[in-house]
Amino acid sequence: MSDGQDLNGTLPAIRHTVLCVDDEVNILQTLKRLLRKENYELLTASSGREGLEILSKNDVHLVISDQRMPEMNGTEFLAEIKERYPDVIRIILTGYTEVDAITESINRGHIYKFFLKPWNDDNLKLEIRKALDQYDLIKANEHLTRTVIHQNDILKQLNDELEDKVEKRTRELVLRNQALELSQAILENIPFPILGVSEENIIVLENRNVSNLIFRDGKHIVIGDNLGDYVEPSMMEKVRASISGDTEERLEGYDMPGGRYVVYIAPLSGQFSGKGVIVTFIPEVI
């Protein structure tokens, strides 16, 4: 026996089904007359065996059983229901002389409540409604528990995925930092002076060998200055040509106070294409 869910994951309203079981036809007829105007479907059976057969074919939410029945008495019948269909609410009708046996069955969880014969009609109808409300409450709590567990599973999955992404991103950043540090070390250890120049002709990078260069008027490079403040117009033309044409340029026999150089000007590539050049000074061998 199960209750479905709508597309929003909530429990839909259900029309309850109540099963009355008694071996006396007149008792079943009385219960039918009493409960026929109630807002639930009413089924009847004349024995425990027949009741179990009906339960196997129908979604029943509440069972009302007489205690004194042949072959299988009420407590035995309801104990069997608890074993097979534990969600079904179970009520028994009994006489004064059977209260002790019924109390024991209640303590063992086989029975939700009992009514003494003859019962009060209004009280019986009220208790049936309360029992069905109890059924709905139990189902709602079970649904809420399942929903919370499901949401927790989703949150755990999302958290695990986030942790994996963070770990992956962290590894990528570590590798990039290591690559950057290695690139910087390689740049610093290249045995020739190297400058990085932006498309605005601003000096943005230098390696340590640039300090060995002496430019016109005895100047030494300062990061952030315009390259044109240090070099001849002939070199600036090569720089502009390299940036605009995305081509490598070469300037031979470039005289500086410290000697003559072959100057290689290489444009940046990829996403930085047109954004600047790398200028390398290689001493001419005389």
Q: How far apart are CA 33 and CA 53, in angstroms?
A: 23
pLDDT in tens, 34-86: 998 898 999 999 999 999 999 999 999 999 999 889 889 988 999 999 999 99
Give the pLDDT mean for 10-38: 87
Confidence of residue 6 (pLDDT cuts 50, 70, 90): very low
Taking CA atoms, 203 is separated from 106, 241, 246, 264, in Å, by: 91, 17, 19, 16
- 38 and 107 share one domain: yes
pLDDT in tens, 220-252: 889 999 999 999 999 999 999 999 999 999 999
Instruction: Kindly report the CATH number assigned to the domain that includes residue 125.
Output: 3.40.50.2300
In a domain, 207, yes or no: yes
Q: What's the chain's average pLDDT?
A: 88
- 225 and 140 share one domain: no
pLDDT at 7: 38
How crowded is residue 225: how many other Cβ atoms within 10 Å of its Cβ? 13
Task: Output DSSP code: residue 67.
Answer: S
The total number of structural domains in the chain stands at: 2
Burial 123-138 (b: 16+ CB within 10 A, else e): ebeebbeebbeebeee
Cis before 12? omega within 30 = no
* 97 pLDDT more than 80: no
Q: Give the pTM.
A: 0.55
Instruction: Kindly report the CATH number assigned to the domain that includes residue 210.
Output: 3.30.450.20
Tokens of 255: 């005289």
Give me the domain span that covers residue 238: 190-283
In a domain, 139, yes or no: yes
Q: How far apart are CA 252 and CA 240, in angstroms?
A: 17
- 134 and 217 share one domain: no
In a domain, 1, yes or no: no
